[in-house]
Structure 1
Amino acid sequence: MLFKLVVIACSCITLSVQNEQVLNRPEGSKCTFNGQEGKCTSIRNCRSAKQGLQKKIHPAICSFEGKTPVVCCMECEQRHSKKIPVYQDIGSRFNDTNRKARNICLRYLANLRYPCDPAPRYLEDDGIPDTNCEPQYDVPGISVPQVSHGYSAIRQQYTHMALLGYGEEMETAQWLCGGSVISERYILTAAHCISSPSLGPVRYVALGILRRSDPERIWQKYNVRRAVPHPEYKSPSKYHDIALLETDTEIIFGNMVLPACLHSELNPGDEAEACGWGALGHHQGLADTLQAVKLQRYDEEKCSQLYPKHRHLVHGYNHTTQMCYGDETDPKDTCEGDSGGPLQIANDVLSCAYDVIGVTSYGRQCGVTAGSGIYTRVYFYLPWIESIVWP
């Protein structure tokens, strides 16, 4: 039986504001919010606003630059920030690493039309004293999404998301597992997703959709030419649960379909997001709209405690090839829905692009108590992926 992914919650952040909460001030102008002096600044460059959002506190909106909010950023941060933004084109970053996957990623980011500008890099300025200027907001009436009830993605937010189909005919296919577009011909997914005991092998890939109910003209469908599980994967074991699907024709990139990058560093950070069209809760139906959830990384000791030796993990949790993410207080994790989908973080060059750090693999009953899921660690498998996708 396919292990599916569900997301029952998400803390993907969007700013939901009412007209009277927009100050209608251009970037660079002075502003006042909650009794503190500030300066209207792009949210990308405002540390205090990002810190507030992590605590579900929305900053005052001065205006919008396209779709990017310009927020009232505290003056102390403007004066004392130790990081000076340096905007560079993507080409100047091409030789950052000798990793093939990283270089391919940079080519995609430079040549394809992602819906945002390159993120700034920073130079340290040790002559400016460090100051803690985290704002203490206490503002009624600002809408904050309830993380415990889940969050629906918006169109073009996760353009690398794939939905995998099973069955004899594409028109009647069952769309179950998830995956990530990583090149013009390959989808990254879980090895246990390449076949279903009841429906047979995976045959189709759907791209470009936000909802299962999207009209047929929006669906970009491809036949699977071949499925390549990792050579050490042996079902029903949960080790080496990673696979590649090659499409029969080249994937057409555009506004709705763009590739994700593969993270080429060992330690990806403490937070990541998972996505899928899975069930909205335990024993609930599949989501129509793509859902996402923000998860916390657990350390090796905690993961080993959560996943001891058993028949599908005969050696217990393997920190070299696996990772586990979840939430210790809220029932946020991946479970029955679409396995094979990405565990991801924002790309360091383009904030609207993503680095895949893991593949959803295995977990316990979700949506009832706080817990975690196991993800295949992409970094360990980069040489194998590169040898097939970019030989």
Structure 2
Amino acid sequence: MVGKMSMNFVARSYCEWDSFQGRCAEVYRCLSTILDKKYNKQAPICTFKGVTPVICCTDCELVDDLRNIIIDEKLGYLYKTGRKAEDACTRFKQIVDYRCKHDTQYDWSYSLNYRIDEKCRNLTLFESRNYFYTQGREAEKYEYPHMALLGFGADVDSAQWLCGGSVISERYILTAAHCISQPRVGPVKYVALGILRRSDPVDKWQRYNVRRVVPHPEYKSPSKYHDIALLETDTEIQFNDDVHPACLHTRGEAEEVLTGTGWGALGYKQQLADTLQSLDISRFGEEECKQHYPSHRHLLQGYNHTTQMCYGDRETVADSCEGDSGGPLQSNKLDEHHCVTTVVGVTSAGKQCGITAGSGLYTRVIHYVPWIESVVWPEELHLRSGRPASFDVRSDFRLNGDLNVNKLI
């Protein structure tokens, strides 16, 4: 009853509800509120902080902010971090119909686990998945829907498609800075998406004009340092089964083995690949990379481990080739949901491919994320609330129920 409630208790005072010990906490820090709402239950209110209810939360642990947790029907928990690149990735997981949402048998359900000894409860999201992976050197349709092919020339119908890239938003392609212009054919003008083979009918391609070219401000051709650029398309990219955005590597260490993709040459002095090629290559250590890439006229200080990385094969001839430049070095395991491809590196340079074993040189994406964010997402991102981790405190909370609150000593 309202008459039994005090409006003066501060957050983190002890309270009791449904025979469980709780503490007064802002509603946005109480995860079990999600389940309470689902079953039309309401925790008693201790007081208000402005318009925000401070409720008797019987969770064993509090979350930072419930408004930063999204529950997707296919993927479970999604978290907003406040970092633009990461929140963009979360938004894509919500709005884009990624293949993983169909290629997994997936069930999830809520469960409240009670700790009898501590007289509190924890909300757990149980999940079950079975993954289907594709293997092989020639990529399969829909396997790399973020891949872009960059075109050069006077008009799109006669364009030469000479570099690769990655879709990272509705308007931007990530590529190498040395791909923004080619000596024989001039500046990059076109972007082709949604293709697996160069020989695919043109009506199957998504083709865009390049509206703006943004090389990294420290890039100086023909240097291999800061070899990274962004291309803005003239119209918004249409995401569908053939075209999806990739996410950026923003934290942690990438795996020992990553995958490079591109339509580059199939070997030394061989023709460009018709079908998109994929290649698993291994990480080389910093000292190995310094030996492979010592100081020379395009790399005056030699290999820079902070901004560059090298991957390849120590035994067999396996590396990126001419025409692969600008394409991604990527992982399908860094994303916790194993749903979205993460771009770890941008193909920059290498030795003569197809001759000897060795490594290729890649621009380290994680180092450039702040710059990418400043160009691609200059404004604050707004994510959808998701289901059902959001609610209107003004309509969802009423003053009712009995409340037993004891001041914290």
Q: Deviations over 1:180-210 (max 9, x none)?
A: 0000000000000000111110000000000
Would you say 1:111 and 2:95 are equivalent positions?
A: yes
Tell me the CA shift for residue 348 of structure 1.
2.1
Tell me the CA shift for residue 92 of structure 1.
2.3
Q: Which residue of the other structure, out of 203, 210, 216, is the alignment partner of 1:224?
A: 210
Give the structure-2-normalised TM-score: 0.65
Letter in 1 for 2:257: E
2:246 paired residue number: 260
Q: How does 1:1-391 map to 2 (within 5 A)?
A: 90=75, 92-95=77-80, 97-117=81-101, 151-346=137-332, 347-391=334-378
Letter in 2 for 1:272: L
Alignment check: 8 A CA contact 1:90 1:106 kept:
no
Cα distance in 2 for residues equivalent to 1:120 and 1:388: 38
Letter in 2 for 1:267: E
Alignment check: 8 A CA contact 2:75 2:337 kept:
no
Q: Deviations over 1:242-295 (max 9, x none)?
A: 000000000000000000000111411211000001111111111110000001
1:79 paired residue number: none
SS at match of 2:237: coil
Cα distance in 1 for residues equivalent to 2:245 and 2:73: 22
Tell me the CA shift for residue 89 of structure 1.
5.4
Q: Deviations over 1:35-68 (max 9, x none)?
A: xxxxxxxxxxxxxxxxxxxxxxxxxxxxxxxxxx
Letter in 1 for 2:328: P
Worse-superposed segment, 346-355 or 289-298: 346-355
Tell me the CA shift for residue 110 of structure 1.
1.8
Give the structure-1-normalised TM-score: 0.68
Letter in 2 for 1:208: G
Alignment check: 8 A CA contact 2:349 2:361 kept:
yes
Tell me the CA shift for residue 351 of structure 1.
2.7
Alignment check: 8 A CA contact 2:266 2:321 kept:
no
SS at match of 1:241: coil
Q: Which structure 1 segments of 5+ residues have no match?
A: 1-86, 122-144
Cα distance in 2 for residues equivalent to 1:266 and 1:198: 40
Matched-pair identity in %: 62
SS at match of 1:304: helix
SS at match of 1:387: helix
2:4 paired residue number: none
Alignment check: 8 A CA contact 2:264 2:324 kept:
yes
* RMSD across aligned positions (CA): 2.0
Q: Deviations over 1:107-166 (max 9, x none)?
A: 101221011137999xxxxxxxxxxxxxxxxxxxxxxx8xxxx81101000000000000
Cα distance in 1 for residues equivalent to 2:339 and 2:319: 23
SS at match of 1:152: coil
Cα distance in 1 for residues equivalent to 2:375 and 2:252: 21
Q: Deviations over 1:65-122 (max 9, x none)?
A: xxxxxxxxxxxxxxxxxxxxxx985462213x4422111101101221011137999x
Q: Rg: which structure is higher?
A: 2
Tell me the CA shift for residue 340 of structure 1.
0.2
1:84 paired residue number: none
1:58 paired residue number: none
Alignment check: 8 A CA contact 1:212 1:288 kept:
yes
1:54 paired residue number: none
Alignment check: 8 A CA contact 1:157 1:352 kept:
no
Tell me the CA shift for residue 353 of structure 1.
2.2
Indicate how the Cα distance of structure 1 residues 88 and 263 shifts in structure 2: closer, same or farther if over 3 A, else same: farther
Aligned length: 278
Cα distance in 1 for residues equivalent to 2:275 and 2:213: 27
Tell me the CA shift for residue 368 of structure 1.
1.6
Tell me the CA shift for residue 352 of structure 1.
4.5
Cα distance in 1 for residues equivalent to 2:259 and 2:140: 15
Cα distance in 1 for residues equivalent to 2:153 and 2:339: 34
